[in-house]
Structure 1
Amino acid sequence: MELSRTIFWDTNYNNIDWEKSSSYVISKVVMYGTIQDWYSICTFYGMDRIKNEMKKVRYLDDKSLAFLSIIFDEPKENFRCYTWKQSTPQHWTS
């Protein structure tokens, strides 16, 4: 699978195990990738796997969560990152 290398700035791209690191890869693409990266992971992992992986992650930014909620027709409350965020006190927000 070929994805934008810049979204993996914190990792050696050549050493990524696409299967073992699927949650990490999908999260990076959802938050920082291009539409072409999105199509690539949809082809490689399939929509069901992407949905299942993303429902379990602890963090997604608000825009990514809203995108996935719409794409998968799932309420935000069904995503772990949403419920985790609601139960964690936020500092310096107004």
Structure 2
Amino acid sequence: MYFDDYKDFPDAALNPKLLWEYRLSEFNFQEMRDVVVQRVIERGWPSDWYFILNRYGIDGVKEAIKNIAYLNDKDLNFVSQQFDIPLASMKCYEKKQLADQHWNS
């Protein structure tokens, strides 16, 4: 995995701009795990990745990834490969397969 050294960065902080619409002083990081992980996947820097891996652990991040309702194709394939998660076990992949496809020409 690309972020195998995450334990070397225990003080990594999450960029508050990723959660701009929330009041972080009242934010429950445990209840909102899926939202935090999705924001880091979509817009995060390495320090943000280190934060979620230290906060939730690899298994917690994997579980959140499986629950995310939407990821673009690039992000979907990146996390699938990095965390060894089969595409078919991800909610966002299932939703893409069920959606009506436009002509690909």
Which category of TM-score, normalised to the shorter sequence, fits these structures? 0.7 to 0.9
The count of corresponding residues between Structure 1 and Structure 2 is 94
Give the Cα–Cα distance (whole angstroms) in 1 for the partners of residues 85 and 97 of structure 2. Answer: 17
Give the Cα–Cα distance (whole angstroms) in 1 for the partners of residues 28 and 65 of structure 2. Answer: 18
Whether 1:13 aligns to 2:24 is yes
CA displacement, residues 40-93 of structure 1 (integer Å, 9 cap, x when unaligned): 110110000110111122111222211111111122122110011110125697
SS of equivalent to 1:46: helix
Offset of 1:6 from its aligned partner?
1.7
Give the Cα–Cα distance (whole angstroms) in 1 for the partners of residues 34 and 96 of structure 2. Answer: 18
Aligned to 2:65: 54
SS of equivalent to 2:35: helix
Considering Cα pairs closer than 8 Å and 6+ residues apart, tell me whether 1 or 2 has the greater RCO: 2
Query: TM-score, with normalisation over the residues of structure 1?
Result: 0.85
Aligned to 2:15: 4
Structure 1, unmatched stretches of 5+, are none
RMSD of Structure 2 on Structure 1 (CA): 2.1
Offset of 1:16 from its aligned partner?
1.8
Give the aligned residue type for 2:39. K
Query: TM-score, with normalisation over the residues of structure 2?
Result: 0.77
